[in-house]
Structure 1
């Protein structure tokens, strides 16, 4: 839309009847003849354009307030002889740019402008808050990168990478350190225990023999004297065995270390079952036929043995098993034992023979024999046949 001009686009009409003689007639008004200067017409704008202003709230678009008329509908009026067209300058291209005002922190909720910056001209060099006029004076000059710059950047990158790796592996390192500390403690304790066990602090200084009845305990301790001063962990069982071989009454033994310096030897003695007559005299043997002692006279308290095949035979083994199964009160009353086979073991108790049979069911046979001897004393009986515990025969 075209904005109407406040002045007429054509000069005012004058009377056609002007004096030709230049007498200075005033026309109809009778005034002096003065020429009024003509003002140029405002710049024409395209229809529908808007006027722009930088005065704050006045930045609005004003349309042509003239009412619509037929003359305007016919098109824009032709310019008059005195009209002048003024070209418009592009918006934002005229004049220098405004200076950049740094932000100042608000004081009591209000932002105070910087007087120095606000009053500085646009083309003045930048200043900082301390009053230095040229901020770019100390800026490094542009120069090409050298090997030192590349090396410095690579070193910084490696350091940053190492920091990130340590940050992300912190938990794993703590868990690994805990495992290492635990294993280290176990190793230290183990090494300390081993070193202490093999040190003189745990060397043998006392030997104790337990379980001897017919054996002399002092003689056994003297035989084991070679173990004195040896650490408990280094006591050799083969040397202990070699020292106890010279004692036939020892059937089994065990060695026990009692820290800090005591060695205990537990002995189970052999149980003699009787004596066997030979040219050398009477030899006391156990159930396995091992000779324990040889004397010229028969040892008291043990029965005489008359077994076919001698020690080491099956009949001798059955005889020894029967003797060891007897109760203590019956064992002391046995005076002789004989057997030709493993199934016909015969005992002599208080002058009466007892046909025991095999070594099977020896515990039951002992109970039946005690009952039979209570019912019929041995001095009144010739033989007790208890080879079958369920059918006792007394003769």
Structure 2
């Protein structure tokens, strides 16, 4: 055999060995991949079983935060978190839905906290005004107009303005709702020093809202403000805040482009 033939055989053997080496590496990599995959699957299944089907991470406490008027016991009763259920198995959406049936709760959050806790945070509605009811009681509403509480008599209501709508003669529901929304928008827009002075809000229609403010000093008398309709509440509030120190008994910001006082 000549030298050329010998060289060709050597090249062929090298190529074959390289090919076989690549095949062996591929097989080892496949076996390693399968082993790792199986191990991960077993680990995931073990973790799933540990979290969802054992009492190793069960509910042993439920924390409650954010309550002001509601009690912790009321929140816990509404949430109805089952004790000793796996924490991972707690249906947080269902618990939140149960909490939202409490009228005073504006929003709620339910979180799983491993290893043994469910954390509940609530945001309570804040009284913004009281509306007299036909039976002499008062309905308490928040700034969004949502009714969430009642008070049997005026002396029992929170320190919030009373919205009087008794001058409505068989009002259309839309007009009544618009008037309440306009009154609440006015109260929300007012800066705190003025809002805290508002004692009553009266209206004969959606565009005839009047605020009554208690005097700032003992020598002054109550101040009335013709607010008008629900439009431009922030602008009206700024104008009223600028005018209120003029020692007048009546202010008119119903047309904010031409405010008046007397």
SS of equivalent residue, structure 2 residue 115? coil
Q: For 1:1-395, list aligned pairs within 5 A.
A: 167-198=21-52, 199-236=54-91, 237-242=93-98, 245=101, 247-286=102-141, 287-298=144-155, 299-307=157-165, 308=168, 309=171, 313-350=177-214, 351-374=222-245, 376-377=246-247, 381-395=248-262
Distance 1:363 1:182, change over 3 A: farther
Write the deviation string for residues 343-376 of structure 1: whole angstroms up to 9, x where unpaired. 43321112222222344433333232222112x1
Write the deviation string for residues 73-126 of structure 1: whole angstroms up to 9, x where unpaired. xxxxxxxxxxxxxxxxxxxxxxxxxxxxxxxxxxxxxxxxxxxxxxxxxxxxxx
Write the deviation string for residues 147-170 of structure 1: whole angstroms up to 9, x where unpaired. xxxxxxxxxxxxxxxx99965522
- Higher RCO (CA-CA < 8 Å; seq separation 6+): 2
Question: Mind listing any 5+ residue stretches in structure 2 that lack a counterpart?
Answer: 1-16, 215-221
SS of equivalent residue, structure 1 residue 266? strand
Give the distance between the partners of 2:255 and 2:39, measured in 1 at CA: 69
Using the size of structure 1 for normalisation, the TM-score is 0.51
SS of equivalent residue, structure 1 residue 202? coil
Please tell me whether the aligned partners of residues 252 and 267 of structure 1 are also in contact (alpha carbons under 8 angstroms).
yes
Moved over 4 A (4+): 163-168, 308-312
SS of equivalent residue, structure 1 residue 203? coil
Distance 1:208 1:340, change over 3 A: farther
Give the distance between the partners of 1:321 and 1:386, measured in 2 at CA: 14
Higher strand share: 2
Give the distance between the partners of 2:229 and 2:56, measured in 1 at CA: 56
Question: Mind listing any 5+ residue stretches in structure 1 that lack a counterpart?
Answer: 1-162
Please tell me whether the aligned partners of residues 335 and 349 of structure 1 are also in contact (alpha carbons under 8 angstroms).
yes
SS of equivalent residue, structure 2 residue 154? coil
The answer to which of 355-364 and 332-341 deviates more is 355-364
The alignment yields a C-alpha RMSD, in angstroms, of 3.0
Using the size of structure 2 for normalisation, the TM-score is 0.73
Write the deviation string for residues 27-79 of structure 1: whole angstroms up to 9, x where unpaired. xxxxxxxxxxxxxxxxxxxxxxxxxxxxxxxxxxxxxxxxxxxxxxxxxxxxx
Q: How far did 1:272 drift?
A: 2.1
Distance 1:264 1:193, change over 3 A: same
State how many pairs are aligned. Answer: 228
Please tell me whether the aligned partners of residues 185 and 230 of structure 2 are also in contact (alpha carbons under 8 angstroms).
yes
Distance 1:390 1:222, change over 3 A: same
Higher helix share: 2
